[in-house]
Chains A and B, each alone.
Chain A
């Protein structure tokens, strides 16, 4: 039995899952509550549930491919997956390289830090952001005087905020509320300053990313988003994670 398990583990590693599914979808896995990784290695979260609902709506079989944020657009471009469902905002910069469905949620960005922190005191402080996100370019453009610390994943920034290596985090406000402030380690930390939604940086909400030229797939995703909004499927998933409608105006 043991031998069998070992052989199976090795075999699974050597031959990555045969691409039997219709659509391979890149997801992240370190961005609670949108995506996080269970001890078993399974990826769960809002993005994952939405991905599954969209696939069911489209009548397609889907395979989720866990990919680091850093490499997620290259992975799409090189065909490691056919779509990205990873809370990726639809921004003009990204539109030059890939294409998006309509949004499937929209939430503003904000700062968190130790309770009592002020936005006016940010100059010279260390602010953690995830490399290559809208928050990265927003901070560079709007807050040039803070010391930016770049991370690969959102989970790492939480660890370093608690350790005291960064003074504040700029990220999606809902991700931080649910993924950090509401957890045990979030005690003593709070939002401060304004909440931001600047179209130039933040775009029009999160959409499903596809390669350019795949209009058919893009439109299928957009139609499926509208359909699950209407069927009530979306509100059911929404209710599992949030007590308000995350779709936005």
Chain B
């Protein structure tokens, strides 16, 4: 127990790395998901098949394998591209390899979430808005996006809950996140149980907090008067 207390500041800094990693990954995943969904919904044949290959491939490979590939393979890619442009050596850090891999994976899941949410919006509404003479941008802002958020939120919350747990495997490439630090420290003081039990509780806390945040968000973005519209 004393050991755990001694290492507490280190572990908490690790927890911060975990959360930062998860948030950056979510941003990347959201961007990729939005691009993917747009490609699938309104792109040409080429865009559609690129997105199709992306979502199929990503969902076939486990997160850890992809992280290892991106961490090692990504560096080679960076080196090759860097050489073309005669750039200086750019280091792909463990942190960014992790963000890249996790964002890339969950972008594929969000592509489906966003696409599904978009397809739930009755097409008649958009036609109606256009018929009223609204500009496409205002249609997007006042009709499409609010409903998209409302429809996509439950799926988005799910992806986040899986994503944050996925960050644990980035410790295997040596990232000093919550799991990595607890693993090193627990083994070196030969008390792994208490360290992993602490990590276990921290993840439960993350899950609990994010659950409440999303519940609040779902209430906030719930569509008022939606029932009358049907």
Contact = CB atoms under 8 A, between A and B. Distances in A.
Q: Do chains A and B touch in the complex (CB under 8 A)?
A: yes
Interface string A122-139: 000000000000000000
A71 B67 CA distance: 13
Contacts of B207: none
B20 A13 contact: yes
Interface in B121-143: none
A16 interface: yes
A13 B95 contact: yes
Interface residues of B, number: 27
Contacts of A185: 190
Given A155-B187, A156-B187, A78 B93 contact: no
29 contacts: A6-B13, A6-B16, A9-B13, A10-B16, A10-B17, A13-B95, A14-B95, A16-B93, A19-B89, A30-B184, A37-B184, A39-B185, A39-B188, A40-B10, A41-B176, A66-B174, A71-B71, A71-B173, A71-B174, A78-B76, A78-B79, A79-B75, A79-B79, A79-B89, A155-B188, A159-B187, A159-B190, A159-B192, A185-B190
Contacts, number: 60
A102 interface: no
Interface of B is mostly: helix
Given A9-B17, A10-B16, A13-B20, A74 B10 contact: no
B89 A16 contact: no
B89 A9 contact: no
Contacts of A66: 174
Interface residues of A, number: 26
A150 B115 CA distance: 45
Contacts of B173: 68, 71
Interface of A: 6, 9-10, 13-16, 19, 30, 36-37, 39-41, 66-68, 71, 74, 78-80, 155-156, 159, 185
A185 B190 CA distance: 9
B72 A41 contact: no
Which one of B10, B79, B96, B184 has the greatest number of beta carbons of chain A within 10 Å?
B184
B20 A10 contact: yes
